[in-house]
Amino acid sequence: MERILRFQHDSGAFVASPDFAQYNFCWLRDGSFTAYALDRAGHAEAAGRFHNWCASSIDRATPLIAAALDRLSAGLDVDPGAMPPARFSLEGAVVDDDWPNFQVDGYGTWLWSLYQHLQVTGTLALSPGLAAAVKATASYLAAFGMSPCFDVWEEDGRSVHTATLGCVYAGLRSAAVMLGDDALAGQAEVVRASVLGQGRRDGYFRKSDHNEDVDGALLWLGVPFGVVDVHEPAFAETVTRIMAELDLAGGLRRNPADTYYGGGAWPVLTASLGWYYVSIDDIGAADRCLSWIEARFDEEGRLGEQFGGEARDPRSYAAWAQRWGPPAADLLWSHAMYIVLATELFARRPPLVDGAPGPVPPVSNDRRQTMDNK
Ligand code: BGC
């Protein structure tokens, strides 16, 4: 927690990683989950500053949204290089580079995270700045939320990714409530139907319309985005496959073909798995996910992006290390997901028995301490 607050820029942005030059930007995806973690941990003011930063950054990207909508009305093809960005400079500028920017998931996750924030703070009305950004983002998602675009791992730009659809669904539903717009709720259902249709094949949810593998990000379809019930057989089968194919010594990898820094296990996904386990009341399994993450904090309290890739696939690891240096040793999104899982587990402490607070297991005490210090 301490590191997230320390690395929040004056603008409200969260740098993806303070120690990895490629991540010296603020991603809507990482930042939105990070703001959610802050809300969960009682730091709503900092989360609010992030949301205001998003509103002004998206405002700056509104000409790109307008141009994309104009092209659509004119019957022209999507121009992926001219779509609003996945990440902004910390000051909120659109960065003119060749990053695979067309990723709609972050816009959906932002709307979801903002709505969570409003609920936490008991805010009923959007400020004018937020309202304008929410409207622009919702119209962008309504138009392009089901288009082929880059996935949440920024690797495949030609497919419709099932996990991305989950983020879009949650975003449109959130916008529908925030704006009181039933048409957006209807659009969210169209997206959900696509998840359940082309996203679900042979009894499980597949990575994309071009890839039958599973992907760790599919966990978000259940928790937190609620596209499907966590007990739905196809979702349970997806988790079974994720565990069979992506487990790396207790942590979770992104997908079977992942070679980025050797394709190690990610705290972000291990926490997502733990979050799912809490949702099905398997607290022991969730606790093991939390412990796996806790063992990966370094002595300075840093928590990296991924672990174990150098042993799993040394050649790929070395190729990436040669290109970009060592992987991110401190990723704010990793911290955030750890906090989300820890707060989920705190909420499951033994219930009150006789009106007095129930006994708090010693492990939770330790973890509260650990969490505050991180
Ligand atoms: C990941 C993205 C993430 C970005 C910044 C990339 O390597 O694939 O999901 O948003 O890093 O953390």
Summarize pLDDT for 323-333 with one digit per residue, the tens.
999 999 999 99
In a domain, 295, yes or no: yes
Give the number of other Cβ atoms within 10 Å of residue 97's Cβ.
9
Catalytic residue among 39, 105, 151, 287: 151
Contacts of 94 (CB under 8 A, 6+ apart): 60, 61, 64, 84, 85, 88
b or e along 11-21 (b: 16 or more beta carbons within 10 Å of the residue's beta carbon)?
bbbbbbbbbbe
Which of 153, 303, 316 to mutate to test ligand 1, by most ligand atoms within 8 A of the CB atom?
Answer: 153
**pLDDT for the residue numbered 368:** 41
**DSSP E strand boundaries for 176-264:** 200-201, 204-205, 247-248, 251-252
User: 117 CA to middle of ligand 1, Å?
Assistant: 23
Catalytic residue among 305, 310, 313, 330: 305
pLDDT of residue 349 exceeding 80? no
Say whether 70 is catalytic: no
Query: For the chain, what is the domain count?
Result: 1
Give the number of other Cβ atoms within 10 Å of residue 191's Cβ.
26
- Cα separation, 224 vs 279, in Å, equals 10
Q: What is the pLDDT of residues 102-120, one digit of tens each?
A: 999 999 999 999 999 999 9
Q: What is the pLDDT of residues 279-288, one digit of tens each?
A: 999 999 999 9
In a domain, 202, yes or no: yes
**pLDDT for the residue numbered 282:** 96
In a domain, 363, yes or no: no
Lowest mean pLDDT among 123-127, 169-173, 331-335: 123-127
Confidence of residue 354 (pLDDT cuts 50, 70, 90): low
Residues spanned by the domain of 67: 2-348
Q: Does ligand 1 have an atom closer than 6 angstroms to the CB of 29?
A: yes
In a domain, 353, yes or no: no
Q: Does ligand 1 have an atom closer than 6 angstroms to the CB of 27?
A: yes
Q: What is the pLDDT of residues 57-107, one digit of tens each?
A: 999 999 999 999 999 999 999 999 999 999 999 999 999 999 999 999 999
Give the number of other Cβ atoms within 10 Å of residue 93's Cβ.
13
- Cα separation, 315 vs 135, in Å, equals 46
Amino acid (one-letter) located at 283: I
User: 153 CA to middle of ligand 1, Å?
Assistant: 6
- Cα separation, 108 vs 333, in Å, equals 17
Q: Does ligand 1 have an atom closer than 6 angstroms to the CB of 91?
A: no
Say whether 154 is catalytic: yes
In a domain, 357, yes or no: no
Which of 7, 17, 23, 268 to mutate to test ligand 1, by most ligand atoms within 8 A of the CB atom?
Answer: 23
Say whether 202 is catalytic: no
Closest CA to 281 of 196, 223, 240, 220: 223
In a domain, 24, yes or no: yes
199, two tokens? 């996203």
Atom of ligand 1 nearest to the CA of 153: 8
Q: Does ligand 1 have an atom closer than 6 angstroms to the CB of 246?
A: no
Q: What is the CATH number of the domain that holds 165?
A: 1.50.10.10
- The DSSP H or E segment spanning 250 is none
- Cα separation, 131 vs 133, in Å, equals 5
Q: Does ligand 1 have an atom closer than 6 angstroms to the CB of 215?
A: no
User: 198 CA to middle of ligand 1, Å?
Assistant: 25
Judge contact between 271 and 289, C-beta under 8 A. yes
Q: What is the pLDDT of residues 132-157, one digit of tens each?
A: 999 999 999 999 999 999 999 999 99
pLDDT of residue 365 exceeding 50? no
User: 156 CA to middle of ligand 1, Å?
Assistant: 13
Over range 10-36, report the average pLDDT.
98
- Of all protein residues, the one whose alpha carbon is nearest to atom 9 of ligand 1 is 153
Contacts of 310 (CB under 8 A, 6+ apart): 261, 262, 264, 317
**pLDDT for the residue numbered 363:** 37
- Cα separation, 37 vs 14, in Å, equals 12
In a domain, 373, yes or no: no
- Cα separation, 122 vs 118, in Å, equals 6
Atom of ligand 1 nearest to the CA of 268: 9
% of the chain residues with pLDDT over 90? 91
Q: Does ligand 1 have an atom closer than 6 angstroms to the CB of 16?
A: yes
Taking each helix axis from N to C end, the angle separating 332-346 and 362-373, rounded to the nearest 10 degrees, works out to 150
Closest CA to 203 of 254, 238, 168, 169: 238
Confidence of residue 359 (pLDDT cuts 50, 70, 90): very low
**DSSP E strand boundaries for the chain:** 26-27, 87-88, 200-201, 204-205, 247-248, 251-252
**pLDDT for the residue numbered 348:** 85
Which of 15, 20, 30 to mutate to test ligand 1, by most ligand atoms within 8 A of the CB atom?
Answer: 30
Catalytic residue among 19, 154, 181, 294: 154
User: 331 CA to middle of ligand 1, Å?
Assistant: 9
**pLDDT for the residue numbered 353:** 66
Query: What does R_g of the chain's alpha carbons equal in angstroms?
Result: 20
**pLDDT for the residue numbered 1:** 80
**pLDDT for the residue numbered 124:** 83
User: 170 CA to middle of ligand 1, Å?
Assistant: 20
Burial class (CB in 10 A: 0-12, 13-18, 19+), 359: exposed
Closest CA to 13 of 42, 53, 69: 53
User: 104 CA to middle of ligand 1, Å?
Assistant: 14
Q: What is the pLDDT of residues 231-285, one digit of tens each?
A: 999 999 999 999 999 999 999 999 999 999 999 999 999 999 999 999 999 999 9
In a domain, 268, yes or no: yes
